[in-house]
Structure 1
Amino acid sequence: MPTSTITDTPRQPGGPLSHGPQVDDPMWGLLLATWDLSLESAGRAANTRRIYLHAGRLFVAWLLALPDEPGSDTVDAHGRPVLPRPAGPEDITRQHVEGFLVAFRTTPTPRCPNGPGQAYVNQIYRALQQWMGHLLDEEDIDRSPMERIKAPKIDQTIKPELTDDHVKALLATCKAIKTGHAKLDKRARYVAARDQALIRVFLDLGARRAEVAGMTLPDVDLHLRTIKVTGKGGRDRLPGIGQTTALALAKYQRLRAEKQAAASAAYWLDENGRKPLTHSGLGQLIERRGQLIGRPGTHWHEFRRKLADDWLDNGGDRGALMVHAGWTSHEMVERYGAAGKRRRARNAHARLGLADRF
């Protein structure tokens, strides 16, 4: 078996997982690269490929940290016997996958001190399921080690709501503070305009991060007040935006035109205007604005839930909401409108006062 290393912090077998490791092992690296090529040829979105490959790298890193021949008394961080390192994909067992999922679920991170959330663990599981299916199609394995492993559950929890007051506070942070230094003031004005436009786009579209990050200049029509976005499965849609959002985008575009990367097709540029804003940079931007209003952990996904809640609270049509948000099933409307659904039920109960007549 070829020697292998992971360009990340070493760890004990069965211990905490590293995040986003690069696989230097030639065999495993080639297997992952082949999978990525297959995903690309199938037209899978770049963000989907990124999620899948990230899960694959985490799994391989965990496998390569296992000993070749563990002793009979060798146990992992959870007191279970340590499994031997598989020589190739055909040696991956159900126990390997389950051991990895347990390790992943219980690994603390700076953002998640109690380990990743259930939805993230479920996402990793489904990504690995796709990889095992690919290995099966390529005849690298005879049987998927995951065929009898149940998907990690996702409890229906009540998530904190992004309120109107929160949104107003976030927008209020997007104001440039004059310092008297011309260069710094110009940069601050650009950043404030960009962030305000970005927050308003999330608020108006309720779009996915990848959809907003993938916007290009030709996608935005300020005259018709529409933005072309490409959703999951490469499906394009043309949701409308409000007048206030259109004005915010117009201001951002005026200031963007003065930047070094103005000729870039990417719509959103970094704080210096020298290169496109990345997916992660976009998420970090929203989180930083949340910290400024004393609400750490503010996430772009909350705008998607807020759109669904506000739409339904104001009597909007569910079918139209599905088209606007890029959903293909009514289940998604129910899921994203869950918080507002409870509130609407309480309001309806109070209005009807059924028990008050006795």
Structure 2
Amino acid sequence: MDLFFKYLQYEKRYSPHTLTSYHTDLGQFAQYLQKVYEITDAAEADHAIIRSWILSLVQRNLEPRSINRKIACLRTYYRFLLGQQRIKANPMLRIKAPKASKKLPGFVPEEPFNNFLDSFTFEDTFEGQRDRLILEFLYGTGMRLAELINIEHANIDLHAKTVRVLGKGNKERIVPINDSLYTCLEDYLAYKKAAVSDNNSEKLLVTTKARPLYPKFVYRVVKKYISLVTTSEHNSPHVLRHSFATHLLNNGADLNAIKDLLGHASLAATQVYTHNSIEKLKSIFEKAHPKA
């Protein structure tokens, strides 16, 4: 398994989040094999044993999406074992994943959220300006949480008004910086220079002790401010990414352009946002079509 995770990290360049999830999934599978079948090597498990583990997950009422992620982990693992000639046949070929209901991505309402960003008075401190920048960055660029906390000063080009984002699989993309975000950046950098003792930190977003921000920190910030705008349970950093895409689409942006801005590998991943925009399309239809 150690060799497998080195393969994922250095050759496949999986994200730290995926690596952590796969560590958990494989660990749970290994515990199941040992406890139920007294098997200490996953290479010895056949499709019937693997299916019994999946069934046990279903019986525990685990979400289909979580089960499918665990199945995806095992598919990757057994393909690796086959490539390493540790097994003669891939037992995952006979495993079918349960169907998961497609949940439409949640998003914040466009007008109230924009009014909030324009009118809310953030604290006139380093912390207050950092909170503001977090919201503006997530909503203004549509980047992922992991991409946000890994932004370095070298990735920002204030002259060209762009930010270089390192996405999944170490794929780089260039995202434009809007005027509002540009102003936030300038304000934040001034406060950071005055408030943070170690200004040699490469990371753009840091704590007052110059340590890089971590996911839970950003979650708390986003949840705090989104709750002032909406009572919806959708208040994670990823919701601002969904909002970015949905609002762009509602205002006539090209789907391919949104795909490139989000860093999606295929258009299929971006098309989910067209479902969120159907109400907008209905509204336009009712106003414009003579038979509506």
User: Does the TM-score normalized on the shorter chain lie above 0.5?
Assistant: yes
Aligned twin of 1:305 = 242
**2:18 aligned with 1:51, yes or no?**
yes
CA distance, structure 2, for counterparts of residue 103 and residue 260 of structure 1:
52
1:188-337 → structure 2 map (5 Å cutoff): 189-257=125-193, 258-270=195-207, 272-291=208-227, 293=229, 294-337=231-274
CA distance, structure 1, for counterparts of residue 66 and residue 28 of structure 2:
18
CA distance, structure 2, for counterparts of residue 95 and residue 282 of structure 1:
42
Aligned twin of 1:146 = 92
**How many angstroms does 1:333 deviate by?**
2.5
CA distance, structure 1, for counterparts of residue 117 and residue 233 of structure 2:
12
CA distance, structure 2, for counterparts of residue 228 and residue 39 of structure 1:
24
The 10-residue stretch of structure 1 (166-175 or 210-219) with the greater mean CA deviation from structure 2: 166-175
CA distance, structure 2, for counterparts of residue 163 and residue 105 of structure 1:
35
* 8 Å contact kept, 2:30–2:40: no
Aligned twin of 2:75 = 129
Specify the code of the residue in structure 2 equivalent to 1:137: G
**How many angstroms does 1:199 deviate by?**
0.9
The alignment's C-alpha RMSD in Å is 2.8
5+ long unaligned stretches in structure 1: 1-30, 69-82, 108-113, 177-187
Matched position secondary structure for 1:239? strand
**How many angstroms does 1:263 deviate by?**
1.5
Q: Decide which of 36, 40, 64 is 1:87's aligned counterpart.
A: 40
Aligned twin of 1:181 = none
Highest relative contact order (Cα 8 Å, sep 6+), 1 or 2?
Answer: 2
C-alpha spacing 1:352/1:154, structure 2 compared with 1 (3 Å): farther
Aligned twin of 2:7 = 38
CA distance, structure 2, for counterparts of residue 268 and residue 261 of structure 1:
13
Specify the code of the residue in structure 1 equivalent to 2:30: L
With normalisation by structure 1, the TM-score equals: 0.71
* 8 Å contact kept, 1:217–1:266: yes
How many residues align? The count is 289
Matched position secondary structure for 2:43? helix
* 8 Å contact kept, 2:140–2:178: yes
**How many angstroms does 1:234 deviate by?**
1.7
* 8 Å contact kept, 2:107–2:246: no
Question: Identity over aligned residues, as a percent?
Answer: 18
Structure of greater Rg: 1
CA distance, structure 2, for counterparts of residue 174 and residue 99 of structure 1:
56
Which structure's residues are more often helix, by fraction?
A: 2
C-alpha spacing 1:351/1:251, structure 2 compared with 1 (3 Å): same
5+ long unaligned stretches in structure 2: none
